A and B are shown apart, each in its own frame.
Chain A
């Protein structure tokens, strides 16, 4: 596609529910990243995938967070048993390879009530 797309653009959920966020990277990009951005703050690294290598999960804040990627295509970030502190914008980025320019999607705004 022309750019990185994310869905849904907005998500409101109740505390305790599970949510699944989707990222479609730029076609051909082998590296894919997930970040969290709390209101008015910088980006917090969550996880990145590079080709068929084991993902770097070092940024995931708890075992309620998990992510998967099918080959070099779509990725899903799942948050189980959501908490109010999970409310944030979740940004996805992709790059042709890990050291190259990251292109960001518009983000998914998650609000946990």
Chain B
């Protein structure tokens, strides 16, 4: 059962445009991670957000964790072709044992 829904599922934009990807759940998470996955490779961690309302920036990428720790967003400014890939959010539940719950994924294509 998928507890994390991402939107949009697919996104094709021109180089230089801005975009936002959303990750939503009805569950509360201890923390949330964003990964990028390129074809033929495993996902690579981009960021971990822990505190409700937290905002982290990684160059042109801005990540926000919702106040209630149920949702998150990833905003990319001035997208570049190198940003192309599958973006995955993962919620972490830490209560006795650790559970990683991955989102449904957003496939981004940035056209030159």
Residues of A within 8 A of B (CB): 4, 33, 35, 40-45, 48, 56, 91, 93, 98-99, 101-107
Contact = CB atoms under 8 A, between A and B. Distances in A.
B103 interface: yes
B42 interface: yes
Nearest to B90: A43
A103 B40 CA distance: 15
Contacts, number: 48
A56 B97 contact: yes
Given A42-B102, A56-B97, A102-B100, A93 B42 contact: yes
Contacts of A106: 40-42
A99 B42 contact: no
Contacts of A43: 43, 88, 90, 102
